Structure 1
């Protein structure tokens, strides 16, 4: 554990390192309390080398001992290194794929061998999920949002294709279970109280469908089958995974989840730091 990787993001700061058995270990802290991260590092004097990436890396640097050796790299490169490492462990590697990184917003990349290009993105992501959930239900805790959403029903709030045809046969190639309008039923009914779980499930559906739709369009543009979805927003989030998986499959693409989805940047920073040490 003399070398660790750190990805100091806008919402969470992620740490990756290998233990005495050379097993990968990960943990995270809220980025609005970087003192916790510094306390973890200071509590482990065996840590001597840091691989660092992320928008708040410089803020964290100010809290750390000057004696620590630092190796910095840009976030996109760190994520690419981490994703490649995770893909090789799980899938045996993918030569070409789309990578959708769902953080506070979502950044979408095209991987072609060793080349890694940012091709699109959206402000819709985990920040949207928590923000809208908080505004509509007063629920700010991400894990509670995910847990409640898993029990909710979207059809009470979303307007579906089947609703538009109201009992008539839905013409091909339309799917009656597709969303015609997220939150679309709300404006068609008298004001009423909605179940919190349903609101959260619907919000999860909105985020998942926007992210997967953009990713699918890019997969079609670059003629690839696999879309790799990463980011801490997927952590213990069954509802969001289900939305993304079903919509991606519907469009005849394959959704890939790597495990430790939010730690690709930290893993990449760790690998980079170890490479720099081995080159000395």
Structure 2
């Protein structure tokens, strides 16, 4: 038996958070092309009278539900903050102020100040970019395969790096030899057609990760905070992207935080908001 449901219907994935009869938090997801199956999941639980909804495709999902339900809509940014707060508490992380970078199809960046938040920036570079650009350049369309190949690849034959620019000369601070001077820059210098799939996929992950991290770091500096919380299902099962983000954040003297179940922040927030409203 399901006691409560919260759903984040995003552009690429629809995340579901629900409480079972044993009061356990259960998390699952479906591609947002399968909204009919998500609606069927809701319809299959007549004992649940109210459902928390957030995300850009929430209304599309609601229209597919055939049983009588009360839907509690939660603003996406509010749901995300509530979910992050829940996960921080669950992991015993005491944090009042931070930048929250939510990597979905694109990327949205928020400033968290205790229990308040505001959206401070965003970019169209995100998980959709990682998947789309990888597929176009390599013909690999499966996300898990992209991730596995990227772990086997190296960007050093494709990216132009600071070390390549200085070629053995002393590199002035604050530059670092492993920093990127130009993403895909070596291709323009030495045009070839024999680049390995795994190297291309590793390089795409680097490009996406660096753009997201650079924006996050600039905002952390602007708001004078040290911690950046990176969330989103794009980070799940892609160690290369996660490593790029973590390493670059540390190089720039900020603290990267990756929460368990961070891809479900919106769904968890919608669930908690709905349960709070139900108790009032």
Aligned to 2:150: 149
1:201 aligns with 2:221: no
Helix, strand or coil at the partner of 2:172: coil
The Cα of 1:259 is off from its aligned counterpart by: 1.3
Q: More deviation in 141-150 or 200-209?
A: 141-150
Aligned residue runs from structure 1 range 133-148, under 5 A: 133-148=134-149
The Cα of 1:179 is off from its aligned counterpart by: 0.6
Q: Is the 8 A contact 1:84 1:93 kept in 2?
A: no
The Cα of 1:66 is off from its aligned counterpart by: 4.3
Aligned to 1:158: 159
* Partner deviation per Cα, 1:32-75 (whole Å, 9 max, x = no partner): 12111112222333333200011111111111024112111111
Q: More deviation in 179-188 or 60-69?
A: 60-69
CA distance in structure 2 between the aligned counterparts of 1:55 and 1:190, rounded to whole angstroms: 41
Helix, strand or coil at the partner of 1:25: strand
The Cα of 1:269 is off from its aligned counterpart by: 0.4
Aligned to 2:28: 27
Q: More deviation in 131-140 or 13-22?
A: 13-22
Aligned to 2:237: 236
Aligned residue runs from structure 1 range 31-50, under 5 A: 31-50=32-51
Q: More deviation in 96-105 or 10-19?
A: 10-19
* Partner deviation per Cα, 1:137-177 (whole Å, 9 max, x = no partner): 11112222112111110111110001111232323332111
Helix, strand or coil at the partner of 1:62: helix
Q: More deviation in 132-141 or 38-47?
A: 38-47
Aligned residue runs from structure 1 range 103-122, under 5 A: 103-122=104-123
Unaligned runs of 5+ in 1: none
The Cα of 1:205 is off from its aligned counterpart by: 0.4
Query: Runs ≥4 in structure 1, deviation > 4 angstroms?
Result: none
Taking structure 1 as the reference length, the TM-score comes to 0.96
Q: Is the 8 A contact 2:84 2:265 kept in 1?
A: yes
Output the aligned Cα RMSD: 1.2
Q: Is the 8 A contact 2:3 2:20 kept in 1?
A: no
Count of residue pairs brought into register by the alignment: 279
Helix, strand or coil at the partner of 1:209: helix
Helix, strand or coil at the partner of 1:21: coil
CA distance in structure 1 between the aligned counterparts of 2:163 and 2:79, rounded to whole angstroms: 44
Unaligned runs of 5+ in 2: none
Aligned residue runs from structure 1 range 4-23, under 5 A: 4-23=5-24
